Amino acid sequence: MDDTKGDFQEKEESDELYEHYNYIADPGQEKLRIDKFLIDRIPNTSRNKIQIAAHNGNILVNKNPIKPNYKVKPGDNISIVLPYPVRNLELIPEDIPIDIVYEDDQLCVVNKPSNLVVHPGYGNYTGTLVNALIYHFDQLPELPSDYFGRPGLVHRLDKHTTGLMVVAKTENALTHLAKQFFDRTTYRRYHALVWGDLEQEEGTINMNLGRSPKNRKVMTTFEDETQGKKAITHYKVVERFGYVTLIECRLRDWPNPSN
């Protein structure tokens, strides 16, 4: 909902691609080191990979992180998350309609609809906004990426979020836009429906945000400032509907927050 949230959205589709496994040890299970227990059950993995997962707190036994030398006991509920291997991706142009609300020779602004993934990633290798963009535009410039190509893009939106996105059509535009987003000089405004009837007309949420150590599929907040990343969201009520409230969220450094 703010610039920091955008940082987490980027992180989700770069270094936070995981595969999830869950096992319950049999009643007759003999005590066995966790790495030996899991290596026989998870395909295409290694003992070292499992030990690293344990060191990083990504192996839970009965919902608690364990050490690499933990010995499995009968009835233990074991869950583990491992990073997906990097996949070589070929971007395929697809004739997907895009809603262009502004365009010049340097950039364009598109209105991304809900249920459209911005760029290819695990589970969504086709049918994305990027596939549409490379069909409609030739030779879009691209920033370096650790995993997947994102031609023309310097930011993203969640799959279920509707909103405007800036697409660079030239290297010059891409460079300048990337610097603006990095320096956080871009102005962004979001509208969201939240559960409940908020007590205050406006306020600020200042918490550290990161992936839950118990369920890597969801995000959570941390009181410990060494965990997660600082996320600040300023909001004000737009309209009340009783059981939900429509709010406007903005960045801290807007020049005129009252507008």
Phi, psi at 237, each rounded to 5°: -75, 135
Indicate whether 47 pLDDT > 80.
yes
d(CA 30, CA 58): 23
Average pLDDT, the chain: 81
Domain count, the chain: 2
Range of 34-38, 54-58, 84-88, 214-218 with top mean pLDDT: 34-38
Domain span at 227: 191-250
For residue 107, the domain's CATH number is: 3.30.2350.10
| 104 and 162 part of one domain | yes
Do residues 199 and 246 share a domain?
yes
The pTM (predicted TM-score) of the whole model is 0.60
Answer yes or no: 158 catalytic.
yes
Residue 252: helix, strand or coil by DSSP? coil
Catalytic one of 3, 7, 95, 158: 158
Q: What is the pLDDT of residues 140-179, one digit of tens each?
A: 888 765 445 688 898 888 888 899 999 999 988 988 898 8
Asked whether the predicted pLDDT for residue 37 surpasses 60, the reply is: yes
Nearest alpha carbon to residue 73 among 103, 44, 32: 32
pLDDT in tens, 87-141: 556 788 999 999 999 999 999 999 999 999 988 766 677 899 999 999 999 888 8
